[in-house]
Structure formats: C-alpha cells, structure tokens
Structure 1
Amino acid sequence: MDASLVTTRDVVLVLAAAAPVTVLGRWAARRLSQPQIIGEIMACLLLGGVLASWADWQTGSPGWQAVKFLGHLGLALFLAGAAHGIRHGTDRIRGRAVAWLSAGSALLPLACGALFAAWVVAYGGTSLRGEAPVAALGLMLAIALAVTAVPVLAGVLADRGMEHTPTGRLAMASAVSIDAVIWLLLAVAIGLGAESGGIGQAAAVLICGLLAAVAVRRLASTTTGLRFASRHPALALALVGVAAVAAAQTTERLGLTDTIGAVLVGLAVPAGRSQPAWTKAAEGVGRIGRPMLPALFTLTGTTVAGSPQSGFSWQATAIATTLAIASKLTGSYLGARIGEQSPLISLQLAALMNCRGLTEIVVLQTGYSAGILTPGLYLALLAMALVTTALTGPLLWAIDHYTRVPEMRLTSPPHPAEG
C-alpha cells in the first residue's frame, strides 16, 4: 500500500478511536463530579497504551508523526487563547491580598519541588532521573509543584457561582500571576536542558520574543488595528492562529519548545474591555485548538508505554503528591492569612489554588518533550496532577459542610469543571 495512504489510514483510525474514548472519559468524570479534563486525559493515555502494541503505530512512524503534528497544532492554538486569557484576568483585582496569596502559593511549592528533585537525583536511579542537567531537572520539578491551573480553576469557580465573589476574584488573580511567572521559568528550564545554546540562547530568544510581543500588541491596539479586528473578525482570528503556529515552530527550532512561542503570541494579542474584537479572536483560536488536544494525550500514552524505561514509580508518585498537596495548601493558607483573609476564606483559597489540571499537563508535556522528564517521572507527576485536581471539589465540599460560619459557606453544590 502507498505510504501516504497508510499514513492517512493511521491518522483516521487514531482520531476515530480518540473521539468516542474522549467522550467516554469526560462522561465518567462528570459522573464522579470531577473536572472533565481528568477523564479525558486518562482515557486518551490508556488508548495510547493500547495503540503502542499495534505494529503499524509506533513512535516515529509516518502516521504517528502526522497525529503528532495535529496534536501540537492544537496545543499552539489552545495556548495562544489560554495565555491571552491570563492577561485578560490580571486587571480584575490587585493589592496586598493577591501578592501574599501568590507568594505563599508559589514559593513553598517551588522549594518543595527542589526538595523532590534532590530526592530524585540522590535516590531515584538512572531510569527515573534520566540524563537532564541537575539545574534543568530541579527547576522543572519546582515548576511542576507550583502550578495552579487557570482554565480548570475558572471552571470550578463558574460551576459554584464564585467567579464574581471576592474569594473567586482573588483566587483567579493569584493563579494568573503565578502562571505568568511559571511560563517564564519554564523557558529558563528548557534553556538549561538544551544540548546546544543553553540558557544564553534561551534568554535571547525569550527576550526577543517578549519585545516582539510588546511591539505587536501596541500595533494591534492602534486605531487601525482595532478597526481591522472589528471589521474583519474572521481575518483577525486567522491572523492570530497563523501567528501562534508560526511562533511555536520558530521557538522550537531555536532551542525552546513550541509552547513558549504560542504563549508569546497570546501575550501579544491586546486584552481588556477596550479590545473586544481581538479578545474574541484569541478566544476563538483557543476553542479551535482545544478539541485537538486528545491527539496529543494519546501520543503521550503511546510514547510512555513504548519506552523501555517507562516503569511507574509508586514511591516517586507518593512523594511528589504529598509534597504538592502539603506545600500548596500550607503556602496558600499562610499567604492568605498574612494577606488579611479570614481563616475560612483562607481555607477556601488553599483548596482552590491546589487545582493543577490542564496547565500542569501542558507543563509536564513540555518537560517530557524537551527530554528533561523521563517517562517514569512524567507518569509520577501526571498522577500527582490528576490527584490534586480531583481533590479540589471534595476539599471545598468539606470546608462547606464542616465550618461553623453558615453565612460564609459555599452555596452551590460541586459540579464537574470544564478542563
């Protein structure tokens, strides 16, 4: 059979299998009152593991490469919209409370991530530790524990009717602040782990990218730019999408990963109430990319299952999960209390900030693609991400039902959050 026909057949079969599997996973998550992204990721990883035994579907095969392209295309589009959403949320609330909550929710998890990295280097063994430089591995694990997922957090707040409450606005503003720093640290980690160029090249690419993002944002915010986006919304959406894909490929070729380029485009798109046309374009690009992500999760399942060193470490999973939960809850609670929040509100904020979700998965995928995370370490951190995200609803329910301040309890029942 012609190679192009084989590739087309493989792509069609994989995507046809991923669609019902994704729907089934999301349905199962809803039934369990969990964020739907948890069910989606687990189902696609299992599908990828099953496909790993298919003779025509191996890592590096033409069909695999084609689905990889689609998955990373969707990731670039999704991240452009998500990064724009992060900027859009930064003007909602500011002040002492945000600063202290952000500091508490990030600094202690970063320190615990470094502690976990020290354990991996000392006791994890070659299969878990891998060949990445110690600095790159340490920073990547610190980042992994510090993430708070803005998309899933927004879904949780919307499901509970908390998005416009002071608590919800404070949680979202802090999560936005943390994630903005996380993407910068991730670029540094990738640079530290790069075989050529290293941190110097990564810093140069990142600085040039940020300067270009500022220049593009100012140009798009002019009267001419706003008029163009308002009169030609389809063209504006296409422009953002093409820019996201082009920037993603450029940063990947320059030693960083495609996620960094896509995030830079999201930061370049004007945000705010005075920029509704550009905001609509960025959000539209994100919605287009979101349905393509299951292809990426499926590929990850295939790669991990087919790796000769993909052994799952329960010890690493237990340590990472314990440190992640303890550091986020403790750091967030203390930060909120120092920021003059009540004990009850501080508990609610701690539970919300412990949510990692899709942002965590993207960060882990980036570290895995860059060769910093081994398959075993990737699986351990993935389990941590799923557990901490799944805990958000039960923790809020417990706070709601076991506090003695009825007027301040959460009033809406827990519902599954969109990923």
Structure 2
Amino acid sequence: MTKHRGIASIVFYIILLILFVGATWLTLTYGASLSPSQATSTAPSTLPEAFTVFSESVQHHMSSTIGLLLMQILVILIAARGMGWLFRKIHQPAVIGEIVAGILLGPSLLGKVSPELFNYIFPSSSISNIQLLSNFGLILFMFAVGMELRLSDIKERLRSSLIISHAGIFLPFALSFPLSLYIYPKYAAEYTSFLPFALFVGIAMSITAFPVLARIIQENNLLRKPLGKLSLSTAAASDITAWLMLAAIIAISQSGSMLSTVYNLAFLILYVLIMFGVIRPLFRIAGKVYDNTEVIGHTLVGVIFILLLLSSYVTELLSMHALFGAFILGLVMPEDLSFRKIITDKVEDVSLLLFLPLFFVSSGLQTELGLIDSPEMWVMLAVFTAIAVVGKVLGTYVSARACGEKPRESLYLGAFMNTRGLMELVVLAIGYEMGILPPSIYVVLVLMTVITTVMTMPMVHLINKVYEWRKHRGKKPHVKHPDQYSALLSFGRPQSGATLLRLTDQLLRRGDKHPHVTALHITTNKSINTIDADKYFHDNFLPLSQEAEKLNQMVALDYQVADSVEEAIIDKLKQERFNLLIVGAGIRLSDDANDRAAISMRDKLSHRIGSLSVATTERLLSIRNLVRDKMQYFIDHAPCSVAILLGRDYSMPKRILLCVESEADMRLLAYARTLAENNQAYLDLHSSNKQTSWGNLHQSERIVSSDLCVTDALMEGYDLLVVSHEEWMRSYDNAPETLACLPSTLIMSLKNGYSLDK
C-alpha cells in the first residue's frame, strides 16, 4: 500500500511539473507578440556586456540608501568590535575602544588619511540616517541603564550614597563655573547664552557612567564586597541625580530662562510622580507574576515597548529629551531579578552591539581633533581634565571619609566615580545637538571623557601598589582557619557545584569536624551587566547552597568575572592558602549527551580540516575556553594538591576501588579510607605493582589481585574509582575502551605538604 502511494505521488509531481513548464512557455511566447514593435532590446548579447550590466547593478545597489546604510553598519561594527577587543586586552573598558573607533572613522583620521574613502563610506547626505538609528538605540540603552539602577540597592546605603554621590557632583560642578566664565566670551558667545552653556559644562564635568563602572567593579571582583556595593549604590544615586539635573537643565536651556521654564519643571515633577506613584506599583505586581520566559510573552513585551516610546515622547514634548523618559521607565521596572534579566536580554544586546556603535561613530564624525590646533586649546584640555578629576576624586574622597569610610576605600571610591564613559558622551551629544556646546569645546570634552575613563584602572592599580608597598615585605599569604583542612572547589554548571560539595564533604570530613570550603564560580563574559551577574550568582549557587544546608557545611561563596577560568582559579589559590583544589573533569570526559556529541563532532572536524583551524574557529565563536581540557593546567600550576572528579551520577558510593602503581601513590589511601568511612562503603585496593605493601587493613577493606587488567572485570560493580594522576595518564586517559567502562572517578595529584594525614 505504501509503495503504491509513493509511485502515485511521483506521477502527480511529474504531471504538475509538465503543466507548470507548459503554462510558462505558452505565456511568455504569447506575451512576446504583445510587445511594442518600436521597443528596442537592451539585453546583453555577449558575456562581457552581461558582466557590465551586472557591475552597474551592483554599483547601483551599493549607492542606494539601504545598501549604503548596510555597508556603513558593517564597517562600524567591525571597527567597534576590533577596538573594543584591543582595549580589553590592555585592561581598559571595551566601550572606550568603541569610542576611539568612532573617532578614528571620523574626519580626525580616516577623513585626513583618505578623504575619498571617507566621503565614499560616510557621505554627508547619509549622516542623518546613522544619527536617527543611533538615537533610537540610545533610547533602548537608557532604558536598560535605568533597569540596572535598582533603587533597593540605594536604600540599603541611602545616607552614605546620597552624601558621597552629591559631593562628587556638586564640587566639580561648582569648579566648572569659573572656567565657563573664562572661556564663554571667546568660544561660545556666538552659539548660545551663558546660562545653558555653563550648566551643560557643569553637568559634563560631574557625571559618572554607571554601566562602565559596574563592569569595572565586576572585573575587579568587588561586586559582592562592601566597597563594590557602596560604589554601585553611590554611582546609581549619582546617575539618577545627574539625569534629573540634566532634564531640568535641558528644560531651562530650551526655555531660555528660569522663569519661562516653570511649567516645564512643574510637568517634570508631575511626570515623575505618576511614574513612581502609579506605573511603578503596577509593574511591581507584574514582576511577581511574570518571572520567567514562559509567561512573559509578546503581549507584555509589546506593552513595555509602547510605554517606553510613550514615556520618551512625553519627555521630549516637555523639553527634557526622549532619553530621560527611557531612563525613568527603566527605573520603575519591577526589581525582580528574573523579570529584569528577561527584559534586559531582549533589549540590551541589540542596543549595545548594534545601535551604540552607530552612536559612537556619529559622535566621532562630529569630533574634529584638528580643532585643538593651538597651545591654548591644549592647555584648556588639561585644565578641563584636571578640574574634572580633582573635583570628582576630591569631592568623593572627602565625603566618603566624612561618612566613616577608611582612607583606602575612599580613594577607591574617588577613582571609580571618576569614570565617565558613554554617559558623558550622551550628555555631550545632547548639548552639541542643541547648539549649546560649540565644536571646539565639544572636542575638548570628548577627549576629557576618554582620558578620565581610561585613567580609572591605572588609578586603581596605583592605589593597590601604594598600599602593597606599605605592607611588610615577605609577609606570608593569609591563611584562613589554619587548624582546618581548606579546600577550594570550582564549578561551572550549577548542579556540578552541589556534586563537588558532596564529594568534598565525603573526602575531607573527619567525624563532626568539617573542612573550610570556598566555592568559586567564574563567568568569562566580561560585558555582562549587574542584573545578569546577580541572576547568575543566584542560579549557580542555589543547588550548592541547598546541599551545604543538608550537609551542615559552611561554605564561602566567591563569584568572579574573568577572561580565563584557569588563570582566575590559580590566582585565587595563590592569594589564599588552600590544601586542595577540587574541580570537575570538563566536557572531554563528561558523560553528558551534549558534551559527548560536541567532543565527537570536534574530533571529526579536526581530522577533516585540521586541529589548528578548529581551534581558531572555536576562538572566534568564544567556545575555546569551554572545550579546552584544563586538567593538566591545574596539575602543573596549582600550588596545592588537586582532585578532579569524573562524575557518573556521583552520589554516595558504596563500593570504592583505589588503584595505585607506585609507593608515592600510597598517600591516596588516607583519602580513600575517609571516603569509605563517611559513606559506610567497602574499599578495595588494587596495585599493578606486586611489591606494594598495604600495611594493616581495616575491616571493610580487601586487596584485589594485581593480575587483573583494568579493562576487564576489575571495574564491574564499583561506584567510585580513586586513582593518582600519574596512574590515570598511564592507564586510562588514552584508552577509549577503558573510559567507557569506568564508574565515577576521582583523579588526584598530591603535592608535598598537602596530604590529608598531615
């Protein structure tokens, strides 16, 4: 029956194809007779003529609006990503590299080196398209920034945050007034009146870039430390204050005087009251209900985008700029982490990766470094930068000390608050667009922005060096809990953390005496925002925390953001003294179906195109760190003993096999016995060396014949294999048939002075 249906379907398809070809031929033949007799054929008759027609078609589409815009976006994105990558390599925020890319693509470099190419890529008639897209991207970005600023964080440290942030705003703002009085007559009088000019210079000197600062805090692993929390809450309070001030300044600037802006400010207050008194409570209810991607559908996201555009439109009508409305709507979003992460995931990647580079380039096209063409202009740049740095750092330091912070933490706060970054560029773009900032002053302030942001990390490193120099030389690393066995367990997937903690408890607990355990999870994506970081922290440590509660085991939680997982782990081991590092075996030895499939595909592709090409592709796709085998790196570089778990649904082993080869491996016996004791398990002992002396055996222990081969029935019935790293490399690592029959396996490399029985 099935065969007849198959033949019938083929016959039907052939008939359908014949009818289609016949109808097409008849239509074209008849249609040709209807063509006007006087029409001349322009169809090419030779291949060269056809190629000429093809070339003209390509050039036409390249110069079309959409073709030109797509080419510009490609050039901008490649330049922005490349410079961002380069600046991250020199330990600078990627956003500074993207700002520099915008300047380099503008008249300052590309326009000077190759004017023809510059005019071809960025003709003056197309700049308005880039600016329009970048402004829409800024609306999305400011919405995401508002969501990153959680009011609950500010409330926890309200007094200190407000005092420190306002001091960091008011002092540079006040210091800018004499400078504005001096430069206004010569540089700005023909563009605008003094009041809006002075106010815009003041706000430009005093703003802090929260998004850039948040990522600097993450990269320095201060996110969950008191200094990091105070820095973020202070920066959040500073940003909210600065944007409220900016909204008022824009209203004043567009009205021309304080008196004529009364209505604007009155409606500003009314708008803020409605947003926080009505919209925010409604969204708080929604945040409790819509907390996962299954229930947050297109309807809710559509409502949020409509509100975003409406809020932006209202503030634009009230002479406070559309960006302010986007920022306020982000602030009133519910503070539930799951809700905010879902919404930011939908908004932030598009705004950061696509639209913001367009903004940087549109800013760069307006930044003509050639305008700084005299010693006076260079002196002005130095004075602007000095006032911005001194005002921000000094104001923050003095106010932090007044709030009870220590000198070192106060200096760090001053350095952090000096970060201006993208938020400063947004302010400058608004001032330039409104005709308040003249081109020369705009260029000076853009360069001041780059300088003050770039100097943040060197200032932090300088503070570190100064305080390290003041410490006593030769001081040994700090040892936490010297009377306890100390272990660092590092994990990737959430459930792996719980498994490794269970293993740590069984491996190191002696009766009621628990080891000191630190759990480390590392995110390799340095561009994540604070919402993502908090969500990752909660989700990744939740299974481990629940397991710790069951085991009655105290665990110190450490979450870091780093470029290299291996280097971050080794740095942690060197900063604090641990007896043992416990990690998972990685995906190369994983029994997870997806991991096994990925490794199998990788091996096949490596045979086909070469391992070097595969490794290069993996780097481009940012998966190299995930698939690379890290076992040997830890063995070679860790200053302490290392335990690597090859988990096969590891739980509570009841039959344990210890395999040794040399006398040095006998130190594993203490660990294996502790495992057996804590699990009430049987322990079997196997040595490939017939001369091995096991000493006095415990009641639950027995010796397995050394004649048995590891690939035979030796592994049958065991829940856990304990083996030294040397024995693993000799007998198991390159034996696929052996790997397939292994139970859960604990591979250990013991360093001198770090054994369990010491």
Q: TM-score range by the shorter chain?
A: 0.7 to 0.9
Correspondences of 1:100-179 after superposition (within 5 Å): 100-122=163-185, 125-126=186-187, 128-179=188-239
Q: Is 1:217 the counterpart of 2:313 in the alignment?
A: no
Question: Partner residue of 1:20?
Answer: 78
Give, in whole Å, the separation in 1 of the partners of 2:305 and 2:421.
24
- Do the aligned residues in 1 keep the contact of 2:205 with 2:388 (CA within 8 Å)? yes
Give, in whole Å, the separation in 1 of the partners of 2:68 and 2:190.
31
- Do the aligned residues in 2 keep the contact of 1:361 with 1:382 (CA within 8 Å)? yes
Question: Partner residue of 1:54?
Answer: 119
Give, in whole Å, the separation in 2 of the partners of 1:390 and 1:323.
16
2:212 corresponds to which letter in structure 1?
A: V
**Residue 281 and residue 234 in structure 1: after superposition, are their counterparts in 2 closer, same or farther (change >3 A)?**
farther
RMSD value, Cα: 3.1
Question: Partner residue of 2:339?
Answer: 277
Correspondences of 1:8-407 after superposition (within 5 Å): 8-49=66-107, 50=110, 53-54=118-119, 57-59=122-124, 61=125, 63-88=126-151, 90-91=153-154, 93-122=156-185, 125-126=186-187, 128-194=188-254, 199-214=261-276, 215-222=278-285, 226-227=288-289, 230=292, 231-272=295-336, 276-278=338-340, 280-282=342-344, 284-291=346-353, 292-305=355-368, 313-403=377-467, 404-405=470-471
Residues 118-140 of structure 1, C-alpha deviation per residue, up to 9 Å, x if partnerless? 22224xx14x4552222211111
- CA shift for structure 1 position 366: 1.8
1:181 corresponds to which letter in structure 2?
A: T
- CA shift for structure 1 position 196: 7.5
Give, in whole Å, the separation in 2 of the partners of 1:235 and 1:310.
51
The structure whose Rg is larger is: 2
Residues 358-395 of structure 1, C-alpha deviation per residue, up to 9 Å, x if partnerless? 22122212222222212211111111111111111111
Where do 5+ consecutive residues of structure 2 fail to align? 1-58, 478-523, 530-758
What TM-score, normalized by structure 1, do the two folds share? 0.86
Percent identity over paired residues:
25
**Residue 99 and residue 227 in structure 1: after superposition, are their counterparts in 2 closer, same or farther (change >3 A)?**
closer
1:210 corresponds to which letter in structure 2?
A: V
Structure number with the higher helix fraction is 1
Residues 94-127 of structure 1, C-alpha deviation per residue, up to 9 Å, x if partnerless? 15433432233222111112232222224xx14x
Give, in whole Å, the separation in 1 of the partners of 2:315 and 2:163.
33
Give, in whole Å, the separation in 1 of the partners of 2:256 and 2:291.
40
Give, in whole Å, the separation in 1 of the partners of 2:471 and 2:525.
25
Q: Tell me, what secondary structure is at the counterpart of 1:90?
A: helix
Residues 290-345 of structure 1, C-alpha deviation per residue, up to 9 Å, x if partnerless? 12111112122223449x98978323211110100111111111111111111111
Give, in whole Å, the separation in 2 of the partners of 1:250 and 1:100.
31
Higher mean alpha-carbon deviation, 390-399 vs 297-306, is at: 297-306
Question: Partner residue of 2:698?
Answer: none
**Residue 37 and residue 121 in structure 1: after superposition, are their counterparts in 2 closer, same or farther (change >3 A)?**
same
2:134 corresponds to which letter in structure 1?
A: G
Higher mean alpha-carbon deviation, 108-117 vs 202-211, is at: 202-211
Give, in whole Å, the separation in 2 of the partners of 1:88 and 1:354.
22
- CA shift for structure 1 position 93: 3.1
Give, in whole Å, the separation in 1 of the partners of 2:439 and 2:62.
30
Greater RCO (CA < 8 Å, at least 6 residues apart): 1
1:381 corresponds to which letter in structure 2?
A: L
Q: Tell me, what secondary structure is at the counterpart of 2:149?
A: helix
Structure number with the higher strand fraction is 2
Question: Partner residue of 1:412?
Answer: none
Give, in whole Å, the separation in 2 of the partners of 1:110 and 1:29.
30
Give, in whole Å, the separation in 2 of the partners of 1:201 and 1:375.
31
- Do the aligned residues in 2 keep the contact of 1:90 with 1:177 (CA within 8 Å)? no
Give, in whole Å, the separation in 2 of the partners of 1:239 and 1:115.
47
- Do the aligned residues in 2 keep the contact of 1:233 with 1:277 (CA within 8 Å)? no
- Do the aligned residues in 2 keep the contact of 1:159 with 1:416 (CA within 8 Å)? no
Give, in whole Å, the separation in 1 of the partners of 2:62 and 2:313.
23
- Do the aligned residues in 2 keep the contact of 1:25 with 1:36 (CA within 8 Å)? yes
Q: How many residues matched?
A: 404
- CA shift for structure 1 position 234: 4.3
Residues 160-211 of structure 1, C-alpha deviation per residue, up to 9 Å, x if partnerless? 1111111111111111111111001101111122168952353244234313
- Do the aligned residues in 1 keep the contact of 2:291 with 2:336 (CA within 8 Å)? no
- Do the aligned residues in 2 keep the contact of 1:21 with 1:43 (CA within 8 Å)? yes
Give, in whole Å, the separation in 1 of the partners of 2:280 and 2:405.
36
Q: Tell me, what secondary structure is at the counterpart of 1:161?
A: coil
Higher mean alpha-carbon deviation, 357-366 vs 203-212, is at: 203-212
Residues 264-283 of structure 1, C-alpha deviation per residue, up to 9 Å, x if partnerless? 2212322245xx32453145
Give, in whole Å, the separation in 1 of the partners of 2:394 and 2:89.
30
- Do the aligned residues in 2 keep the contact of 1:328 with 1:350 (CA within 8 Å)? yes
**Residue 195 and residue 238 in structure 1: after superposition, are their counterparts in 2 closer, same or farther (change >3 A)?**
same
- Do the aligned residues in 1 keep the contact of 2:255 with 2:261 (CA within 8 Å)? no
Give, in whole Å, the separation in 2 of the partners of 1:89 and 1:95.
9
- CA shift for structure 1 position 155: 0.7
Give, in whole Å, the separation in 2 of the partners of 1:135 and 1:87.
33
Where do 5+ consecutive residues of structure 1 fail to align? 410-414
- Do the aligned residues in 2 keep the contact of 1:11 with 1:64 (CA within 8 Å)? no
1:156 corresponds to which letter in structure 2?
A: I
Give, in whole Å, the separation in 2 of the partners of 1:130 and 1:335.
39
